[in-house]
Chains A and B, each alone.
Chain A
Amino acid sequence: MTAAERASPSKGRGGAFAAILSFATLLLIGILAFSIRLFSVIKYESVIHEFDPYFNYRVTQYLSKAGIYEFWNWFDDRTWYPLGRVIGGTVYPGLTLTAGTMWWVANALNIPLSVETVCVFTAPVFSAFAAWSTYALTKEVKGVGAGLTAAALIAMVPSYISRSVAGSYDNEGVAIFALVFTFYLYLKTLNTGSLFYATLNALAYFYMVCSWGGYTFIINLIPMHVLLCIVTGRYSSRLYIAYVPLVILGTLLAALVPVVGFNAVMTSEHFASFLVFVIIQVVALVHYIKRILTQKAFRVAVAFVLTVGTVSALTLIGVLIALVATSPTKGWSGRSLSLLDPTYASKYIPIIASVSEHQPPTWPSYFMDINILAFLVPAGIIACFLPLSDSSTFVVLYLVTAVYFSGVMVRLMLVLAPAACIMSGIALSEAFGTLTHSIKYQLDLPDPPAPPAVTVDQAASSTPQVSSVTAAADSTKEKSTSEKAKETLRERPVKRNRKKEREIIEKSVEKKAQKKKPPQVLPLEASAVGIVLLLLLGSFYVIHCVWAAAEAYSAPSIVLTSHTADGLHVFDDFREAYAWLSHNTDENDKVASWWDYGYQTTAMANRTVIVDNNTWNNTHIATVGMAMSSPERQAWEIYQSLDVKYVFVIFGGLVGYPSDDINKFLWMVRIGGGVFPHIKEPDYLRDGQYRIDGQATPTMLNSLMYKLSYYRFAEATMDGKGYDRVRRTEIGKKFFKLTHFEEVFTTHHWMVRIYKLKPPKNRLRGKNKRKTKPVSKKSRPTPPTKTSGRRN
């Protein structure tokens, strides 16, 4: 906003009117960004979405209840039972603190918003901020027009909407704002050479570190750009000011965040920044020495330093490599490694691979998520090269790296979105600029030759000459001025006036382009058609975005709806089950489920869980996976050893809800088998096929997951056949009894089935139990059959 205001006096041409117009446009863009994300509230309700947001919501609740100091020291004993989790030290606190502050301010002003309301609307509010900072960033690169276009594009880009609809209370919601804002401040510093902005930049980077693990993207991208600038001979003191304070202050601040701590200097993700830090110091030194030495002395010095430097650098690198090589993951965390090597996760870490958002995207998902931007981006890159400036190289670099990362993980499409919007904004704005200029030029043309028609032939003969002459003169003049300006720029040390001069250079360069335009002007009709087509393209984008926001991305996933002949049907089974757990079980009971539902259980049912979505302990998850894939008795023993009282499974077979536990079961087997080798994936597959019908393996049919899912299911279906509507088949084992588990609650549509572990039998009864032992023995002879099945 302020940027727009500040833009006006320097812009001047439209004066106050242009300032107000761009301010109003920005305001409207902010409102658009906010309101397009409210579809979920209007169509569903004001509720927290999905899985991770529930954890963030719970943390925010705790923060608002217990205060900031308690929050830092919070040890959560309701999760990862019996290990617990140190929340204060393992969570990125940016989002929580932001929402907590917003809540606190609102309540201090006697506006009694609930924590939930604040959490629901945090992401939309921050997407408006993100749109504004995109404006500022693009303005630094290509001026106000491109800025406004880019802001309008990012306000409704589906990729970002998918992560920031109202209720999607996740780190990305604020992190994208922080990312773009940090980049903006970096470019601002780069363009002005002001230490003030450099400090702000470090603070923005700190906010980003607080908010999201993706901050490593910043701390790698900016060094890359600095390196690029140095290599291409674009080193300047502004670059030094933009980079050095960021690294020093930024690293210090980042180390203050408990979850990062010493990682800020210890892990390989951050090494690039330090390396470039050293390089830029050397370059600065060289520049300084070059200035104080004569040419000859300088050459000697270079030769000397090069020989000494190479030797010492080689030894240093050797030491560094040796150090890094001693650590097993080469100093890189799993997620980062899977970024660099896309096949890493599927090879080594099934937990990372099992999350759908960590899969590589498909082509349609590009079209779905950034739509026409995918086509506009190349044009934007071209526009960035005419003329090439420090800031435009940065944007290009950002785009290229973001494209790579988005190709590795669907989730990182989000990082690509701002880059794509900036590029497309530049492209669209340049295209519009060219087209409207040529129209304007041609509409203006008939005016000057107004003097009597008599002069036509002469004018015709004289004007081209004149214009060409003047153009030539202009261009030479421009060149000289710009060169002069550049020289002054090199010579002068940091000075405030710099900014203005820089702008002059850019403007003069632009002017040159403009001046040259008349010769390459497009025909009137062509440009009119071009404008219409561009508008059409833009409206397609708007329609797609609104559709995506309304239909594709606003479902909260804890409430499902289906349209039937007699209207809307709501499936609210998850909350039914969580409400039941929270009101009708003891407060200290432990509840086991697959890790997907851990966050929701702690947040909505307030019960202790064994594993949750923060997948930090593979062994623990594998234990639950093993229990789910074991026969009933063994599973009961495992759960008993974990002090579990209730087990619940998600079952979609009755109503056709596809992402239920049976469909996730293979991952449980894989993750369980990764730690406990007696769980073997082939035992659950018949000829490599995953099936639950009559052909399924006995191991599968006797697993706890199968039994808990299909207990009494056959009776409930129409003809007693047990037709599973998700797998579209008749289930393999229909009538069976549970011996160690007891059904205590099943929701209305059978989507959540809660079982209670039966208490251990008395020893006296154990004698009688001998007779019933064959039941459990029957499950034991199965291994031979399954192994034989595998051999086949």
Chain B
Amino acid sequence: MASSMPRSLLSVSSLLCLFFALACAAPANLVLTKVDRKIDLSSQIVRSTTQIRVENKGSDPASELLLALNSAQAKSLSYLRVTTSEGKGKSKSQAIVLRVLPAEAQSPANVTFYSVQLPKSLNKGETVALDIYSAFTHLLTPYPVEIGQSDVQLVLFHDSAHFLSPYPVKVQATAMKVPSFRVESFTKVEPSKISDGEIRYGPYENVPALSYMPITAHFENNEPFAVVKELEREIEISHWGNIYITEKYHLTHAGARHKGGFSRFDYQSKPSASGASSFRHLLARLPPRAHSVYYRDEIGNISTSHLRSDLRKTELELEPRYPLFGGWQVTFTIGYGIPLQDFVFKAEDGRRFLNITFGSPFVNVVVDNLVVKVVLPEGSTEASATLPFAAEEALRTKYTYLDTVGRPVVELTKKNVVPEHNVHFQVHYRFSSVAMLAEPLLLVVGFFAFFGACIAYTHFDFSISKSSSSYQARQQREEVLDAVQRIQKVMNERAATSDKLEASLRDLARTGNVATCKAARKEADAKLKDTNKDLKAILDSLPASSRSTVLAKVDTLMQKEREKQEKLQQKHTVTVEAYEKKLSSKEIDSRVAPYQQKLTALKQEVAELFHLLDD
């Protein structure tokens, strides 16, 4: 099919030429006095730069100029820019970009007109110089369509030797730059020649309007035909200081399809002669100060990439998992973060705007379908995008981490994107910094609610049936536990007082100061009395129905304890008396000893019971 295409195109278009010449008169009496066309075929993108000089030969002033493209070119046109420069020669300083619209004028079949709005209408006899810059994708067709691993890639390029224009052209010339010296063939339209990797057509003089002279060039082009079928860029703004960009690629090699096997041995041992048109590296120019760069696909991280960064730029060189031959595909995701202050600014009207490049950061890559999603922070309003070219725009909502109302997303869709589209665009939105606190507050409230619920659960009674025996048993148990704890507390107090008493005895032994010892005794006695009362109160408060075991235990404990205290008191009295009588120490000891002995035994018993109560 591919082989027959050039011929059919040729015949059809030559027929059409005739038709145009007869049917379509030029819309205005404009004449192109000079056309100088340069077509760059050295990469997969066809870039054409045309300098034209327009003169108005008619009487009416002309305000617009029509540009013509044949249908194939119109379909793959991705970028068109017309500029004019004020002044002449060297003072061509400021170029004015002119508006280009799809023309409303009747266009013959197979030809598409674009209307260029001239900066000022052209009066009779006046001339204006225009620079037309256009880029086309998928215009180079590989031929042969399938190549083996050791073959080079040859491509066909179709165009017209004459500049297609609805106006007559006085003088014109075309130069096509091909990437290598190997040119298989090209259509000869005298005068035409090839030199230094350039195929030159012309100069031709006095070519009538809409003249179409099909030419075909067949030449070697081993440049990577890297085409991204789908690219989804997600730009997520976080006012905590970063912008996160995630780019999902579906990359293919759109050149001549690979035929037959792939021998790794050949590929590794003869890099020059094998897989000339394949590529294994891609270079992405990321914004300066890009950080947290990652490169992965759906089955994990891809380890073949290099990141170089300096103050001006960050360059990411990455290798897909395998080299790409014609027709092979691969998908991957890259992501990186960039500092917020470099890309988000405040506008005069209080709104904020994001100013960032539109296209893919990869060099020399064509994107068939580009979707740019700008995810604004939650709570932003009045989102709108400003682009230097046309793109579909839609507003959506996205929910991510801890979102409640969702984040507004400005979604821009554009087909056929070339690196020329990689210019800055703006997204304006209104956002108050207070909204930043929404998510932390949400977390705080969430945790607070959780802890509150826990506290409530432990402190409130959620039993359904308050009369069930198990419930009552538990209730009672808790009461008992409570009482036991109080008893323990009192007991501890009593133990402390008795310790004090003993300490006073020890002091007595050391200093012989009977008075202080007596004072201590008095104090302790008072304390013990008090606590005795307390104990009784608690014991009374113990529910009568409570388990006898506990009660019995408490009783024994209290008895023993009281006994102990009594013994201690006795001991105390005896000792103090002895001191008052100024008995010898040996005598004192002998008197105290029986008490002491009992006391120790009791002490141990009490400690034992005390622990038992614990359980």
Chain A residues with CB under 8 Å of chain B are: 9-10, 12-13, 45-47, 109-112, 450-452, 454-455, 458, 462-463, 466, 469-470, 474, 496-497, 500, 503-504, 507-508, 511, 558-559, 570, 572, 575-576, 578-580, 583-584, 604, 712, 715-716, 742-748, 750, 756
Q: Which residues of B are found within 8 Å of A451, using beta-carbon distances?
A: 502, 505-506, 509, 596
Q: Which of A10, A109, A474, A584 contacts B608 (CB 8 A)?
A: A474
Give B502's nearest chain A residue, CB to CB.
A451
| Closest beta carbon of chain B to A106's beta carbon, Å | 10
Q: Which residues of B are found within 8 Å of A504, using beta-carbon distances?
A: 615
Give A47's nearest chain B residue, CB to CB.
B300
- Does the CB pair B300–A45 fall under 8 Å? yes
Q: Which residues of A are found within 8 Å of B612, using beta-carbon distances?
A: 508, 511
Q: CA–CA, A466 to B598, complex, Å?
A: 9
Which residues B594-609 have CB closer than 8 A to chain A? Answer: 596-597, 600-601, 604-605, 608
Listed from nearest, the 7 A-B pairs whose CB atoms lie closest are: A746-B264, A47-B300, A45-B301, A570-B303, A579-B321, A507-B615, A583-B329
- Does the CB pair B322–A743 fall under 8 Å? no
- Does the CB pair A579–B268 fall under 8 Å? no
Q: Which residues of A are found within 8 Å of B327, using beta-carbon distances?
A: 584
Q: Is B462 an interface residue (CB 8 A)?
A: no
Q: Which residues of B are found within 8 Å of A747, using beta-carbon distances?
A: 264, 322
Q: Is B580 an interface residue (CB 8 A)?
A: no
| Closest beta carbon of chain A to B279's beta carbon, Å | 15
Give B294's nearest chain A residue, CB to CB.
A45
Known: A452-B510, A462-B593, A572-B302. 20 other contacts (CB 8 A): A109-B402, A110-B401, A110-B402, A112-B400, A450-B506, A458-B589, A458-B593, A470-B605, A496-B473, A497-B473, A508-B615, A511-B612, A575-B321, A576-B321, A584-B327, A715-B269, A716-B264, A743-B262, A743-B263, A743-B264
Q: CA–CA, A429 to B593, complex, Å?
A: 41
Q: Which residues of A are found within 8 Å of B403, using beta-carbon distances?
A: 110
Q: Which residues of B are found within 8 Å of A469, using beta-carbon distances?
A: 601
Q: Is B90 an interface residue (CB 8 A)?
A: no
Q: Is B26 an interface residue (CB 8 A)?
A: no
- Does the CB pair B261–A744 fall under 8 Å? yes
Give A754's nearest chain B residue, CB to CB.
B262
Q: Which residues of B are found within 8 Å of A450, using beta-carbon distances?
A: 506
Give A467's nearest chain B residue, CB to CB.
B604
- Does the CB pair B303–A572 fall under 8 Å? yes
Q: Which of A13, A466, A558, A745 contacts B322 (CB 8 A)?
A: A745
Q: Which residues of A are found within 8 Å of B404, using beta-carbon distances?
A: 110
| Closest beta carbon of chain A to B52's beta carbon, Å | 45
Give B303's nearest chain A residue, CB to CB.
A570
Q: Which residues of A are found within 8 Å of B304, using beta-carbon distances?
A: 572
- Does the CB pair A110–B261 fall under 8 Å? no
Q: Which of B400, B597, B615 contacts A503 (CB 8 A)?
A: B615
26 A-B pairs with CB atoms under 8 Å apart are A46-B300, A47-B299, A47-B301, A111-B402, A450-B506, A451-B509, A452-B509, A466-B597, A466-B601, A469-B601, A470-B604, A497-B547, A500-B477, A508-B612, A511-B612, A572-B303, A576-B321, A579-B299, A583-B329, A584-B329, A716-B269, A742-B261, A743-B261, A744-B261, A745-B262, A747-B322
Q: Is B88 an interface residue (CB 8 A)?
A: no
Give B586's nearest chain A residue, CB to CB.
A454
- Does the CB pair A112–B401 fall under 8 Å? yes
- Does the CB pair A715–B260 fall under 8 Å? no
Q: Which residues of B are found within 8 Å of A496, using beta-carbon distances?
A: 470, 473-474
| Closest beta carbon of chain A to B258's beta carbon, Å | 9
Q: Which residues of A are found within 8 Å of B303, using beta-carbon distances?
A: 559, 570, 572
Q: CA–CA, A507 to B330, complex, Å?
A: 68
| Closest beta carbon of chain A to B61's beta carbon, Å | 58
Produce 1/0 per residue, B255-273, CB < 8 A to A.
0000011111100110000
Q: Which of A109, A750, A756 contacts B264 (CB 8 A)?
A: A750
Which residues B120-174 have CB closer than 8 A to chain A? Answer: none
Q: CA–CA, A151 to B434, complex, Å?
A: 45
Q: Which of B265, B585, B597, B615 contacts A462 (CB 8 A)?
A: B597
Q: Which residues of A are found within 8 Å of B547, using beta-carbon distances?
A: 497
Q: Which residues of A are found within 8 Å of B301, using beta-carbon distances?
A: 45, 47
Q: Which residues of A are found within 8 Å of B600, using beta-carbon distances?
A: 463, 466
Q: Which residues of A are found within 8 Å of B299, using beta-carbon distances?
A: 47, 575, 578-579, 604
Q: CA–CA, A575 to B303, complex, Å?
A: 11
| Closest beta carbon of chain B to A301's beta carbon, Å | 35
Q: Is B297 an interface residue (CB 8 A)?
A: yes
Q: Which residues of A are found within 8 Å of B604, using beta-carbon distances?
A: 470
- Does the CB pair A583–B264 fall under 8 Å? no
Give A753's nearest chain B residue, CB to CB.
B264
Q: Is B447 an interface residue (CB 8 A)?
A: no
Q: Which residues of B are found within 8 Å of A12, using beta-carbon distances?
A: 614-615
| Closest beta carbon of chain B to A167's beta carbon, Å | 10
Which residues B225-281 have CB closer than 8 A to chain A? Answer: 260-265, 268-269
Q: CA–CA, A470 to B600, complex, Å?
A: 10
Q: Is B481 an interface residue (CB 8 A)?
A: yes
Q: Is B76 an interface residue (CB 8 A)?
A: no
Q: Which residues of B are found within 8 Å of A462, using beta-carbon distances?
A: 593, 597
Give B400's nearest chain A residue, CB to CB.
A112
Q: Which residues of A are found within 8 Å of B506, using beta-carbon distances?
A: 450-452
| Closest beta carbon of chain B to A713's beta carbon, Å | 8
Given known pairs A497-B547, A583-B329, the reply for A712 and B321 (CB within 8 Å) is no
Give B330's nearest chain A residue, CB to CB.
A583
Q: Which residues of A are found within 8 Å of B451, using beta-carbon distances?
A: none
Q: CA–CA, A112 to B473, complex, Å?
A: 48
Q: Is B611 an interface residue (CB 8 A)?
A: yes
Q: Which residues of B are found within 8 Å of A45, using beta-carbon distances?
A: 300-301
Q: Which of B265, B399, B510 contacts A110 (CB 8 A)?
A: B399
- Does the CB pair A110–B400 fall under 8 Å? yes
- Does the CB pair A744–B262 fall under 8 Å? yes
- Does the CB pair B300–A576 fall under 8 Å? no
Give B458's nearest chain A residue, CB to CB.
A5
Given known pairs A9-B481, A470-B605, A583-B328, the reply for A454 and B589 (CB within 8 Å) is yes
Q: Which residues of B are found within 8 Å of A742, using beta-carbon distances?
A: 260-261
Q: Which residues of A are found within 8 Å of B473, using beta-carbon distances?
A: 496-497
